[in-house]
A and B are shown apart, each in its own frame.
Chain A
Amino acid sequence: MAAIIVTLTLLLLLTRMLYLQVLNHEHFTTLSLDNRVKLEPRPPTRGLIYDSHGTILAQNLPAYSLDIIPEKTPDIDATIQALSEIIPINEDDRKRFKRLRQQRRRFDSIPIRVRLSDEEVARFAVNQHRFPGVDVQAKLLRDYPLQEQTAHVLGYVGRINKQELQRINASNYSGTSHIGKNGVEKTYENQLHGNVGLQQVEVNAKGRVLRVLENQPPQPGENLHLFLDMDLQAAAMEALKDYNGAVAAIDTRTGGVLALVSKPGYDPNLFVEGISSKDYKALRDSLDKPLFNRAIRGQYPPGSTVKPFIGLAGLEMGVVSFNQQTYCPGFYQLPGHDHKYRDWKKTGHGQMAMEDAIIQSCDVYYYELARTLGIDRLHDFLTTLGFGSRSGIDLTGERSGLLPSREWKRKARREPWYPGETLITGIGQGYFLTTPLQLATATATLANRGQRIRPRMVKSIDLPDGTREATRMESTQLSQVDPEHWEQIIHAMQQVVEGLRGTARRIRSDHYSIAGKTGTAQVFTIKQDEEYDEATVDKRKRDHALFIAFAPVDEPRIAIAVIVENGGHGGSVAAPIARKVMDRYLLREASTPTRLH
């Protein structure tokens, strides 16, 4: 009896074993392998970014963060509460944690605090046993040592968000938490990121890696060398003083961007680990719009800086000769209309040929020229110089400005083009909008006597094989160019700086020749019979001061556009800024290189 029971029971156990070991063998083998072998991504280190002298603009610095793995943490709220008693955790930290927790999987580690100090790391280490699932992670954080000086150019990296997650190759980004959000960091994301490596490891129950079964090292991101020259960038920042504005300086021989400043800037490091809502609000709501990249997104009326290009259009189209004279009484009237189009100089300039009209920036001359040319020819010629379309710089978010035409107005406004609108387009007002980068590019085209070069930030890239690959220069030669016309315009621009009556004569240099043009852009339309009085106008309604220039005149090396918001007059405010930047570039090169590398 007892023997039978024993036998039956043992058979029962054996059946159970049969069930587990034979019938469900595969299932449990998979579970066992899952237990044991983990595929760990090895994220690549992001490529560095240097300026043209080798100064580091973006690097990766080790930083500690306090991470929670939700799956391994019994009571997350209580854990965070207890953690906050030993390490300060503020409301922003909690919010970020909550947000990230919704985006990530349960077994991903999510930072509750970032950038821990050494002392905080030590304090946590002592208490670590109290917090299962909480760990200090050392990782490389993107760092921008020059902070706001490079913010608008480089952009910044930030945590990968949902939309980006759908766009990127998720497997190449496994183990990577950050991605370029704008600027060079975004444009060159593919080069900077590199390729993920893989590590197959055997782990024990505690997740500790015991053995590496297979190792495929990551391919680090490629380093970028920019054309950007931090000497020039700093000089431009400094010269802008407290003004809001933008400076774009281009190497006329390569199209390389030597300086690209938008002021005010911001500290891009704030964004790397997620900016606090308070800081973000302050940046977003500031009337100075520090997050706005004026250099490529700011669209300003070009004002008088467009006059050399209009003059060139007149010469090239054959509607005017260089020495043909027009009388300026201080205003202009279209035949059969009462409306007076004013000249900035109320008493008028008198008899004007093209050169004087550029030097003294006579509006009436250009009203007449624009009317003769007509909006169609004006539009077509300015298009070839790049107005109204993006320059194609290797930065994201560039705006195209606006070069008005009949077609544009019909489509956008459902209205016909009025002759008066041609006139004010001729002095760079009305619908006409340009970005500082567009102005600099057009100026460079002028300096190159018709060779239009696409501006670019990156000079060369360090390839994985150790060689350095230069980026390609793209240029087009404007067709049907009469060199004499260009020299005439350039000569007139040189007289703007060097002539006795030039509007920018105060920046004349003894060391090199400068060709330039001042401009003033109305922000605020004054009524027909009102006076514009700088002193009484609200600061933010004051005119923008503009200046474009290139130098040296005969062998140009640098073209520059400066916009000073609410700065007043181009000649007195914007031109000196351009001079400082050009000095830094041309005079330093002439003497000795000031920096190593």
Chain B
Amino acid sequence: MTGISFTHESQPARPTGLLAWLHLDLPLLTGLMLLSGVGLLILYSAGDQEWALIQRQLVRLGIAFGVMIILAQLHITHLRRWSPWLYIAGVLMLVAVIFFGQTGKGAQRWLDLGFFRFQPSEMMKLALPMMIAWYLAEKRLPPKRRRLLAAAIMTLIPVLLIAKQPDLGTALLVASAGICILFLAGIGWQLISLFAVSMAALGPVIWFFMHDYQKRRVLTFINPENDPLGAGYHIIQSKIAIGSGGLTGKGWLNGTQSHLEFLPERHTDFVFAVISEEFGLIGIAALLALYFFIILRGLYIATQAQDTFSRLLSGALTLVFFVYLFVNIGMVSGVLPVVGVPLPLISYGGTSLVTILAGFGILMSIHTHRKLLPT
């Protein structure tokens, strides 16, 4: 087998064997498997050494990797053809959630389809980049202003629907998917800055629409020490966990912040603080290197993609994965406000896991279904 390195310049020889037959990309697969392994290790510690938790996470990983393998088999042309329909179905379901949704943790996110409960906002994380990529790939790039505006509206519709649930974290991720594609499609810096300015202007408007707990989060982010026992507690405790980890950490299973229940949501959104406390800066550097490897591989796949749709989509999915990482670490280490974004592949929980690995399935499909072209 070849192709472990992602840096080689020339067109690789098409790999053969089981992986090739399953349309899997070995570097990506290795990275993802390693990350999931690390995730289980951390989960064992953060979840107070509870085996049941590990077992449940293993089942979810199995399902998610299954979904990834299935998606890798699908040829990208099928996906491209389904893109608009998936998007429309997604938007309709988001509307349905508002009317018939299940309520959980104070927000309506779930749609009960009888046999299983489904979170349409998660599907949107994939459907939106597919839709925009499909739409922009129809005409030559860079896109004209009118088409850009249309793409922006296409992004805004699901984002607003999701924000209304309210699920700020997912809305943010979906929005970032749309922005990433526009960025990849090559819009100019002027437009990006215009966008940034208009977002800043929208701030007060968004503030007005925000729920109390969201407002509190933002205020807490600005000054966590203001309310050390209330809303600021998460951030203060997580910073203590990270800071007290030091260079080498307190050792696996020895994090006092985590094990003595000072750190809230330590096996879900704040799992990064547990890693920092137990493995220190060295452990964090190694973990970030692993993420970096996966992201670079994803971006490499994007550069190797053979059509605009594939290139835009693979680039966007990789960047969304990166946004996950950045937002999560940023919030846990106190540089971003607390929004519910998990640490990809490590945080306990199934829904985002499936979406993320489904995205990587699409990436693998794009990479392994290329036609062999002469160099």
Q: List 28 A-B contacts (CB under 8 A).
A: A2-B183, A2-B184, A6-B292, A6-B295, A6-B299, A7-B292, A9-B326, A10-B291, A14-B284, A14-B285, A17-B242, A20-B242, A21-B243, A22-B246, A22-B247, A24-B243, A27-B243, A31-B243, A32-B240, A32-B241, A32-B243, A32-B244, A35-B256, A36-B256, A72-B229, A202-B260, A204-B260, A206-B261
| Contact A28/B242 with A6-B322, A10-B288 known, Cβ cut-off 8 Å | yes
Bound state CA distance, A199 and B330, in angstroms? 39
The residue of chain B having its C-beta at the shortest distance from the C-beta of A210 within the complex is: B260
Which residues of B approach A to under 8 Å, CB–CB? 183-184, 229, 237, 239-247, 256-257, 260-262, 276, 280-281, 284-285, 288, 291-292, 295-296, 299, 302, 315, 318-319, 322, 326, 329-330, 333, 335
B325 to A: closest C-beta gap in Å: 8
| Contact A2/B240 with A17-B284, A36-B260 known, Cβ cut-off 8 Å | no
Q: How many residue pairs bridge A and B at CB < 8 Å? A: 104
A364 to B: closest C-beta gap in Å: 84
Bound state CA distance, A530 and B275, in angstroms? 100
Which residues of chain B have C-beta atoms less than 8 A from A3's C-beta? 296, 299
| Contact A2/B315 with A13-B330, A18-B281, A21-B280 known, Cβ cut-off 8 Å | yes
| Contact A35/B262 with A3-B299, A6-B295 known, Cβ cut-off 8 Å | yes
A138 to B: closest C-beta gap in Å: 25
The reply to whether B326 and A205 form a contact with Cβ atoms under 8 Å apart is no
The reply to whether A203 and B288 form a contact with Cβ atoms under 8 Å apart is no
Partner of B244, one of A7, A18, A28: A28
The reply to whether B291 and A21 form a contact with Cβ atoms under 8 Å apart is no
Which residues of chain B have C-beta atoms less than 8 A from A202's C-beta? 260
Q: A284 interface residue, CB < 8 Å from B?
A: no
In order of increasing CB-CB distance, the 9 nearest A-B pairs are A28-B243, A32-B244, A204-B260, A205-B262, A28-B244, A25-B246, A21-B281, A204-B261, A20-B243
Which residues of chain A have C-beta atoms less than 8 A from B239's C-beta? 20, 28
Bound state CA distance, A17 and B281, in angstroms? 7
Q: A29 interface residue, CB < 8 Å from B?
A: yes
Knowing that A6-B296, A205-B262 are A-B contacts, what are 9 other residue pairs whose CB atoms are under 8 Å apart, sorted by A's residue number? A10-B291, A16-B330, A25-B247, A28-B240, A28-B244, A32-B243, A32-B257, A36-B256, A205-B261
Bound state CA distance, A490 and B84, in angstroms? 125
Bound state CA distance, A29 and B276, in angstroms? 13
Partner of A21, one of B245, B295, B302: B245
Which residues of chain A have C-beta atoms less than 8 A from B237's C-beta? 35, 205
The reply to whether A16 and B335 form a contact with Cβ atoms under 8 Å apart is yes
Which residues of chain A have C-beta atoms less than 8 A from B183's C-beta? 2
B342 to A: closest C-beta gap in Å: 16
Interface residues of B: mostly helix, strand, loop or mixed?
helix
Which residues of chain B have C-beta atoms less than 8 A from A36's C-beta? 256-257, 260, 262
The reply to whether B262 and A204 form a contact with Cβ atoms under 8 Å apart is yes
Which residues of chain B have C-beta atoms less than 8 A from A20's C-beta? 239, 242-243, 276, 333
A25 to B: closest C-beta gap in Å: 4
Which residues of chain B have C-beta atoms less than 8 A from A28's C-beta? 239-240, 242-244
The residue of chain B having its C-beta at the shortest distance from the C-beta of A18 within the complex is: B281
Bound state CA distance, A42 and B257, in angstroms? 26
Which residues of chain B have C-beta atoms less than 8 A from A32's C-beta? 240-241, 243-244, 256-257
The reply to whether B326 and A13 form a contact with Cβ atoms under 8 Å apart is yes
Which residues of chain A have C-beta atoms less than 8 A from B295's C-beta? 6
Bound state CA distance, A6 and B335, in angstroms? 17
Bound state CA distance, A24 and B335, in angstroms? 15
Interface residues of A: mostly helix, strand, loop or mixed?
helix
Which residues of A approach B to under 8 Å, CB–CB? 2-3, 6-7, 9-10, 13-14, 16-18, 20-22, 24-25, 27-29, 31-32, 35-36, 71-72, 202-206, 210
Which residues of chain A have C-beta atoms less than 8 A from B242's C-beta? 17, 20-21, 28
Bound state CA distance, A409 and B241, in angstroms? 77
Bound state CA distance, A22 and B247, in angstroms? 6
Bound state CA distance, A16 and B329, in angstroms? 10
The reply to whether A203 and B260 form a contact with Cβ atoms under 8 Å apart is yes
Bound state CA distance, A17 and B138, in angstroms? 43
Which residues of chain B have C-beta atoms less than 8 A from A7's C-beta? 292
Which residues of chain B have C-beta atoms less than 8 A from A35's C-beta? 237, 240, 256-257, 260, 262
Which of A18, A31, A204 is the most central at the interface, judged by chain B CB atoms within 10 Å of its CB?
A31
Bound state CA distance, A318 and B295, in angstroms? 118
Which residues of chain B have C-beta atoms less than 8 A from A18's C-beta? 281
Which residues of chain A have C-beta atoms less than 8 A from B261's C-beta? 204-206
Which residues of chain B have C-beta atoms less than 8 A from A29's C-beta? 243-244, 246
The reply to whether B262 and A13 form a contact with Cβ atoms under 8 Å apart is no
The reply to whether A22 and B244 form a contact with Cβ atoms under 8 Å apart is no
The residue of chain A having its C-beta at the shortest distance from the C-beta of B316 within the complex is: A2
Partner of A16, one of B229, B240, B247, B333: B333
Bound state CA distance, A3 and B301, in angstroms? 12
B9 to A: closest C-beta gap in Å: 15
Bound state CA distance, A35 and B255, in angstroms? 12
| Contact A13/B288 with A2-B299, A21-B245 known, Cβ cut-off 8 Å | yes
Which residues of chain B have C-beta atoms less than 8 A from A24's C-beta? 243
The reply to whether A17 and B229 form a contact with Cβ atoms under 8 Å apart is no
Which residues of chain A have C-beta atoms less than 8 A from B299's C-beta? 2-3, 6
Which residues of chain A have C-beta atoms less than 8 A from B257's C-beta? 32, 35-36
Which residues of chain B have C-beta atoms less than 8 A from A204's C-beta? 260-262
The residue of chain B having its C-beta at the shortest distance from the C-beta of A34 within the complex is: B240
B238 to A: closest C-beta gap in Å: 10
A388 to B: closest C-beta gap in Å: 63
A327 to B: closest C-beta gap in Å: 92
A7 to B: closest C-beta gap in Å: 7
Bound state CA distance, A204 and B266, in angstroms? 14
Which residues of chain A have C-beta atoms less than 8 A from B229's C-beta? 71-72
Bound state CA distance, A25 and B241, in angstroms? 10
Which residues of chain B have C-beta atoms less than 8 A from A203's C-beta? 260
The reply to whether A31 and B284 form a contact with Cβ atoms under 8 Å apart is no
The reply to whether B284 and A21 form a contact with Cβ atoms under 8 Å apart is yes
Which residues of chain A have C-beta atoms less than 8 A from B245's C-beta? 21
A26 to B: closest C-beta gap in Å: 9
